[in-house]
Structure 1
Amino acid sequence: MPGAVLIGRCEPEPLLAVAGTFSDEQQLLLQQLRGHLDLLMQEREIIDYSKAEAVCGQLAARMQVVFGAEFLQAAHFAAIPRGGLFVLGMLAYHLDLRPDQITTLDAAADDRTLFAIDDCCLSGTRFRESLNRIATHSVVFCPLYAPEALCSSIASREPRVVNCLPGASLRDTSPTPDDAGYSAWKHQRLSRLVADDYWLGQPLGVAFSWCTPQTRRWDETEGRFMEGWDVVPPSRCLKRRLLLRRLEHDAAVDYLPPLTLNTPHSDTGIRAGGRVLWCRQDAGVVVAKVPQRAGDTASVYGLDTISSELWQMLMLHGSMQHAIQVLLTRYHVASERLWADMSSLVEQMRSEGLIVQCDGIPQGGGPVASSGRGSSD
């Protein structure tokens, strides 16, 4: 979306908006991404290295109880690249595996049980692809995180899989048969899945310090699952961090939209309202009041010339006194007239809910900028 700008703020509640001029198709896409983003923000757990190490210990203990130490010492172990390599490395220490027990999916001996290790399993698609590379007739699948129901389905439907043990179970977020609307949901879910999918469930998302599993969203226009957004910040994920570094240094990349962060100052007299976002646009400023409900229309205001300068200084310093002093150096106007006009504008912004005013501001004069209403995605 050329020309689009991302606007975000963290306090008092996280908000993210896209500003620009969009076609009907782009607006539909933004609506789909908004729903996908809401889902990810509610259903995505980030697993750091210490938590992953602890769950690896749980998985190792479970494997020892189910199979016994002697069986484990006679088996081969292979990782499903690349996330499984992290898990297998930790499991090798928990289980005290010998170097000759660690192999690859393609090189596993066909006369020994192979433990296939992965960091997570959300649908089973990647495991099915990996199983086609394995020659042995006895496979145990051990994802660090997976829904128990999915593991049971894999074990029952794959003849070569003797067991499927997760280290920790992911919660299934799909409705139950007793919930209202379950039949409609099941019909829709079946229409979107392929015939050989292992189960109907929708597991809670998970992300690791080394990578984030690819998210999917249903595209009504395309009639299929498409790549979704990733909400895990690069600071908390190695894969995301390296990807961002490559994109930032790639001259051919021209699709990264600029990001404007609105950071309110809690110790200032004037600041933006709790659900207000703004950004510079051309020679002015666009201010949007984001509604609480996704389907409601936003109020969008355009400020230019002196009113846009006032807004930016208020957002930066939060002081009417400081803003007036700066504006007096830029415009040949009487101090009393400027105070009156700017105070009137600030009062208009306050009444519209665009700013929160924590100190007294002189009143008087008339507004110097008008506001317009429109829709915002």
Structure 2
Amino acid sequence: MLSYALDLPSAQFERPRSDIGPIVVVDDCALTGSRFRRFLQKYPDREVIFTPLYAHPELCEAIERDEPQVTACVNVRDLHDYASERFGNNHSEWQARWHERHPDSRYWIGRTEHLCFPWGETDTVTWNPKEERVEQGLSVVPPEHRLKTRPGADSSQRESSASVQVQPSPTGPIRPSPPVLFGQVGNHTIVANPEADVCIELGGTAAAMWHALVEHGTIGDTMGALRQAYSVGETTLRADLVDFAKQLAVHDLLHVPDGSFA
């Protein structure tokens, strides 16, 4: 926490190591043990005591069982494993797939609650079945609320992070198609339907029409909102708006029920 708060390398706050006695490794959490395994490779001949603040009991048991040099793995708080509840009868198959992807790095495979600390949040990974690869999971806490990524933090410690945007609930008959996701990226709006393999970028008036349609849900109400922002005739605005909505509907980005253009 001091290194993040003062923008100094964390190594400056480590006490000189001694060859006498065991190494006591303290960490905020241990989810799979892969980071701890990498640490052990640096000190193969030392006795080690591992004390994560948060960990699943089975992970601690696995570390003590698999690593003779670890005399104890003691956590302060137990994490709960939600994997069996989520995957049910497919739990064993799910674990086996992750073992195949990480055969030598993880002591234990589960799915625990997401952890956030003042200095940062835990890294998560997810499997992309379409690309058949492991990808970094999304962050939950905005960068400005984490010491690690707050504005003005030292660039060597800063992480890149995307903002979290919430999809608004539709209010009218004209609405985004069920699989559609959209969000603001810079000055543009990205609209995508992953099931239809369609993704478009909207800017200027096109982005304004999209957000107005999503917010109001009808051609009439959308026209009323847009006429307050743009100086354009009613006939021209209606024609442009209807044509825009039809194009989006053709590409499965917008759901337009029959009669919605009347």
Return the match for 1:150 from 41, 51, 59: 59
Return the match for 2:15 from 103, 106, 124: 103
Question: Secondary structure of the residue that 2:35 maps to in structure 1?
Answer: helix
Question: Secondary structure of the residue that 1:238 maps to in structure 2?
Answer: coil
Whether the 8 Å contact between 1:285 and 1:303 is mirrored in structure 2 is yes
1:161 paired to 2:38: no
Residue correspondences, number: 232
Distance 1:181 1:129 in 2: 30
Deviation of 1:240 (Å): 2.7
Q: Residues 44-63 of structure 1: matches in 2 within 5 Å? A: none
Whether the 8 Å contact between 2:37 and 2:105 is mirrored in structure 1 is no
| Alignment CA distance shift 1:368-1:197 (3 Å) | closer
Question: Secondary structure of the residue that 1:166 maps to in structure 2?
Answer: coil
Aligned equivalent of 2:117: 208
Distance 2:164 2:83 in 1: 35
Whether the 8 Å contact between 2:48 and 2:71 is mirrored in structure 1 is yes
Question: Secondary structure of the residue that 2:27 maps to in structure 1?
Answer: strand
Question: Secondary structure of the residue that 1:103 maps to in structure 2?
Answer: coil
Q: Residues 1-377 of structure 1: matches in 2 within 5 Å? A: 103-104=15-16, 107-110=17-20, 112-134=21-43, 137-175=46-84, 179-195=88-104, 197-218=106-127, 225-242=134-151, 246=155, 297=196, 321=224, 323-324=226-227, 327=230, 329-331=231-233, 342=238, 367=242, 369=244, 370-371=246-247, 372-375=249-252
Aligned AA for 2:18? A
Distance 1:224 1:304 in 2: 32
1:204-252 Cα deviation digits (max 9, x unpaired): 33232202233223466887645443333213212132599859xxxxx
Distance 2:41 2:51 in 1: 16
Question: TM-score, structure 2 length as denominator?
Answer: 0.59
Aligned AA for 2:118? S
Distance 1:144 1:155 in 2: 16
Question: Secondary structure of the residue that 2:139 maps to in structure 1?
Answer: coil
Distance 1:277 1:325 in 2: 27
Distance 1:227 1:305 in 2: 32
Distance 2:125 2:190 in 1: 32
Deviation of 1:273 (Å): 5.1
Question: Secondary structure of the residue that 1:154 maps to in structure 2?
Answer: helix
Question: Secondary structure of the residue that 1:239 maps to in structure 2?
Answer: coil
1:321-352 Cα deviation digits (max 9, x unpaired): 5644665x444xxx6x57xx74x998xxxxxx
Deviation of 1:148 (Å): 1.0
Aligned AA for 1:205? H
Distance 1:135 1:304 in 2: 57
Aligned equivalent of 1:68: none
Structure 2 portions without partners, runs of 5+: 2-8, 254-262
**Greater relative CO (CA pairs within 8 A, separation 6+):** 1
Distance 2:164 2:116 in 1: 26
Question: Secondary structure of the residue that 1:127 maps to in structure 2?
Answer: helix
| Alignment CA distance shift 1:280-1:219 (3 Å) | closer
1:250-293 Cα deviation digits (max 9, x unpaired): xxx9xx99x896897xxxx9998587866799xx98877x7xxx
Whether the 8 Å contact between 1:108 and 1:134 is mirrored in structure 2 is no
Deviation of 1:158 (Å): 2.0
Cα RMSD after superposing both structures: 5.4
| Alignment CA distance shift 1:315-1:262 (3 Å) | farther
Distance 1:223 1:311 in 2: 32
Structure 1 portions without partners, runs of 5+: 1-48, 50-80, 86-101, 248-252, 347-366
| Alignment CA distance shift 1:263-1:147 (3 Å) | closer
